[in-house]
Chain A
Amino acid sequence: MSYAYLFKYIIIGDTGVGKSCLLLQFTDKRFQPVHDLTIGVEFGARMVTIDGKQIKLQIWDTAGQESFRSITRSYYRGAAGALLVYDITRRDTFNHLTSWLEDARQHSNSNMVIMLIGNKSDLEARREVKREEGEAFAREHGLVFMETSAKTAANVEEAFIDTAKEIYRKIQEGVFDINNEANGIKLGPQHSPSSPNSPGGNASSGLGGSSGCC
């Protein structure tokens, strides 16, 4: 499938906030209640349409555990967008946002679009972090904010697509250098030089006779 642009995303945040489930919901449109711990990183991809253009999203889902933090850090640089996720039913995951954000700002390129996601919005009864708090945090740090539920799929599409829209807007404004792949953006094949030519039919005659010896 051809695409105009390819965007690299990463999903970050504490362990157990639902990063892998968000990705699965977005790429496969399903929810897996029991999910193994992510080891290192996992990877998913989906095509979206923005402004009439086909855009391919390649999404790296990182492990939230502290022990994988140094590996996770290595993924910031090449990403155009990041989904910073916390769990609205666990206050500590919200409290750790500052440290995640610091990490991201320190290791990523300055134009990376960061979307703040408060996940598990379906568990209203167990809510520990108010919506307003998330909004305030996002405002304070210049992030886009959204509450999602990987279980009910509420706002999941929007979260990924709005991030893509924001990146697209920045491209239109010329903020991103699209020729440097280290920014996490790549031009699609129709922009780049010709696709592989299929080998021509220049096969010479068969060789069967040449070894009539068996």
Chain B
Amino acid sequence: MSSTCSTFSFRSHGTIPQEFLKYKKQQRYRYRARKRAPLIQNLLIHPPTEMALFRNFFGGGPADPEEENGAELVERFVERVETCSAPEDRRDAIRALRSLAKKYRLAVGTMGMNSYVDILEKERMNHEILALVLDTLSAVLSSDDENVEEDELGERLAEVMLKRAGLVSSVLAAIEQFDFGVRRTAVQLLTSLLRHRGPEVQASVMGQPMGVSKLVDIVHDNREIIRNEAILMLCELSRSNAQIQQLLAYDNLFVLLFDVVDTEPLDSIVIEDCLFVTLNLLRKNAMNQQLFRENNLIARLGTILHSFLYGAEGETDEAVDTGEWAKQRTANVIFLLQIVRALVSPDNAGTNTHAAQKAIYQTKILAELCRVLLSEIGASVEILTESIIVVAESIRGNYTNQEYFASTTLITPDQSTRPSLLVLLISMTAEKQPFKLRCSVFYCFLSYLFDNEFGKTKIIETLLPSSQPENAVSTGALICQAISSSESVQCWFGCVSLMHCLYQVEHLCEQLLRVQLTVSSEGPSVSLLSHVSQLLTSMGNRRPQMRAGVLMLLGVWLNGSPQAVTSFVAKDENLQYLTTHIADECGEGSESEQQAIRGLIAFSLLVCLKSTEDKDARSSLEALIERRVGKEAVISALEGLSRTEQFVRAAQKPQPLAKQTNELFLDFHFVKLFKNIESSLVKQIRPTGEFNGTANNDSIIQSFKELIKRQDEEISVLKHEAKRAQTEITRLQQEADKSSLEKELEDVRAKLEASCSVQAHSESVSLQLQEAQRVAQQWYSEAERYKQWAAQWQSYQLAQIPNAAEVGVAQLQQQIAELEQQLSFGYQAFEQQSQSIVQYTNQNAELREAVSKLESALATKEREISEAKSSVAVNGHASNPEDQEEVTKLRSEQEDLLVLLAEQHNKMTQYRRTLKSLGQPVTDDEDE
């Protein structure tokens, strides 16, 4: 069998990024940094004065102050933000904090938190400050480290921010503002928050009325920078929350994103972001997949894919060499392919996948992809690999698509055509092809066979003598060639491919027995079955991967055909091989691989037993197994298979997952078959015994399901209880708080009482003290008295002394004498005074007598005068010239007096009148 063949061609360029997503992530951050650059410059240029001030602080730039100094600095600015009343000063302080935010993330983030939250809530109309605060917060959250995944500080700071109630709604309110700076920084902040605490932020966005809708609205913003920031934010918002994903889809995000894709150049990273969001919305979200189809978006996806593969319409008619595409364009195509794949993934609900497969066929996406596989686009290996996988999942289990795929052909330079299946197998068997590509091709071939009996039959038929055209390479031949290959993984690919042709189609197992191979040009032809079994026995205990492949093929084949068993068992060396190597523990390969091999051998043995219909043959085979191996050993080998890592890995996905060739060991569908028949295999040699393998899978799964259900219920009950207990605890705590308060109160009261009693005690003591003092005073006075008495007693005692008394008496007698003398003097004086008093009294009487005498003399004289006067008047004038003269004088005097009297009278009447006129009462007699 020659192997001249065409295969997929791809241009290899330099290095092939192994992990596209990783690459993408790095790029994403790089991209973000690029976009941020103008902002930072802006900040540096815009406020020259503040920055100058700053440079002074830092002593001219690069000289970094200590972290502590930084914290102090930050504290000072925070204080300024809190206390300054002039808006400019506060703004400048915040600006300063913004410039410190990167360097002192912790300090800037925590110290100023109160002010930031305050400003976000209360100063919504002050755009400049608002934008600065938002920018500061997001600067604090993002680290410059390349290792963005593990930014613990950012995560903690985000947690602190989210503890502030209303922060998310403040940010959303800021996003609603049209101001460029505010909206952009607010979106960036939301992105950072989502990056650190996704689920929490998603939940609070959902909690806001129309929160999600408003966020979708900013994709409409015609300022490109904001639109792009919004898309970056949606990348985070759309992660792994089905409800948000549905809401985003409901708000027409698919269409919006595709509209953006249409306007961007093919190598724009914005496209990648758009597609990333789309992929998030579709992956494992059945409702969104349905909506995507309903809205005819698969067709639109096809148009976009076409323009990516061939350039925009009218640009060029020639196929583009993808090897020379910008990396970003390649990445964009990969994302487009992954979106298609998300729609048809075997992980989806069957109806969804089937409907999507149909749409992908109808919208000609399948044709497009087949063309990528088969024409000379020269796709890069990543694009080719991804396309093959998408084709695989697009045709898997869908007969129309499978047939369409098989009908496509590659036109070789010599104008002959080559069916796509052949191209697949040729690539699979080409050692030079990258392993990743061979794996995808293999998967595509298996997907073609899946649930496709007609396809399987056609492949087996190419091996049958009757239908074999001369000199043509057939699919069957290529498979057999692969099985015979000395390359381990190629043999494995071949065996598993052929196994899939036989899988669940018994008549093909019989058919395959007719196949004869000519191994060498001279030797006789041998049957395929004996060729395969010879291959097995010849390997001994080497080459575990090849043996695994062959044993799986044999297992399925023997399981499907009693006839095959008969011819297999007929050869002694076959049974010999199986019964010896089932116990071999020192073959090639890892321990787990050997365990898997032993399990596969046990499987083959038991399948042989099961498919032997002749009773005698059957019992002799059973006896042979019992004698050479032992029933229990066979069973334990069989059960061991499901415990190997190879088994677990293979059971996960229909797509073979392997980075290296030797990781391919067991096949997904073989594992399925094994699980199905394991218990029946065991039962035939241990009819009553207990079975504890994987099998009984359904019942086990059922029991697990029930267990899970029960546990679920239990969990919900427990949750409920926990909730209740929680409330109980809080209640109790409150109570406890209360009771502790009460206790405290009690304590205080007790103390109070104690101190009261102490006080009372002290009062009584002080009373006692006073009493005591009083008593003491009494005692003192008493003592004083006694002292006096003692003194008196002393003086008395002194007086008792005779000399002393004589002296005293003498003194006293002398005193008495003196006093008597004085008294006599007194008497003398008294005598003299009484004498003078008598004298004075006599004088007084004499004087009185003289006075009365004089008085009577005066009266007579007066009488004489009046008599004289009247006589004068009677005598008329001038009896006496002297008298005359005197009389005239008196008369003139009298007249003067009369005139005066008259005048007086007039005045008085006048006054009276005046008084009257003034209303003063004037008595009658006064009136006279």
Contacts and interface: CB of A to CB of B under 8 A. Distances in A.
Interface of A: 6, 8, 40-43, 45, 56, 58, 60, 70-71, 73-75, 77-78, 107, 181-182, 189, 195-199, 202-214
B376 A107 contact: no
A209 B412 contact: yes
A43 B318 CA distance: 43
Nearest to B363: A196
Contact of A209 (B8, B296, B413): B413
A70 B206 contact: yes
B892 interface: no
8 contacts: A8-B250, A71-B243, A182-B213, A206-B375, A207-B6, A207-B376, A210-B376, A212-B4
B410 A206 contact: yes
B644 interface: no
Interface in B297-319: 299-300, 302-303, 306, 310, 313, 317-319
Contacts of A181: 252, 255
Contacts of A197: 303, 306, 313
Contact of B430 (A70, A182, A199, A214): A214
B310 A199 contact: yes
A204 B376 contact: yes
Given A206-B410, A208-B423, 13 more contacts: A41-B243, A41-B247, A58-B291, A71-B243, A74-B209, A75-B247, A182-B213, A182-B251, A197-B303, A205-B375, A206-B6, A206-B409, A214-B426
B129 interface: no
B374 interface: yes
A41 B410 CA distance: 47
A182 B216 CA distance: 11
B210 A107 contact: yes
B572 interface: no
B212 interface: yes
B464 interface: no
Contacts of A74: 206, 209-213, 247, 250
B153 interface: no
Given A70-B206, A206-B413, A212 B6 contact: yes
Contact of A71 (B4, B206, B319): B206
Given A196-B302, A197-B303, A199-B371, A208 B246 contact: no
B119 interface: no
B243 A40 contact: yes
Contact of A199 (B6, B291, B364, B433): B364
Contact of A203 (B252, B375, B418, B429): B375
Contact of A60 (B210, B250, B371): B250
Contacts of B319: 202-204
A77 B213 contact: yes
Contacts of B211: 74
Contacts of B9: 207, 210-211
Nearest to B304: A196
B745 to A, nearest CB: 42
Given A208-B423, A214-B429, A189 B210 contact: no
Contacts of A182: 213, 251-252
Contact of A206 (B210, B302, B376, B378): B376
B3 interface: yes
A189 B299 CA distance: 11
Interface string B136-156: 000000000000000000000
B569 to A, nearest CB: 38
7 A-B pairs with least C-beta separation: A208-B6, A214-B430, A209-B413, A206-B411, A196-B303, A208-B412, A207-B376
A3 B364 CA distance: 21
Given A199-B371, A208-B413, A209-B413, A73 B317 contact: no
Interface in B354-409: 363-364, 367-368, 371, 374-376, 378, 409
A188 to B, nearest CB: 10
Nearest to B415: A205
B413 A199 contact: no
B198 to A, nearest CB: 17
A202 B423 CA distance: 20
B290 interface: yes
B118 interface: no
B287 interface: yes
B294 interface: yes
A210 B414 CA distance: 11
A60 to B, nearest CB: 7
A178 to B, nearest CB: 14
Interface in B1-52: 3-9
A17 to B, nearest CB: 21
Contact of B242 (A40, A206, A208): A40
A182 B295 CA distance: 15
A55 B306 CA distance: 30
A208 B250 contact: no
A114 to B, nearest CB: 18
B207 interface: yes
B432 interface: yes
Nearest to A203: B375
B714 interface: no
B431 interface: yes
Nearest to B367: A199
Nearest to A181: B252
Contacts of B252: 78, 181-182
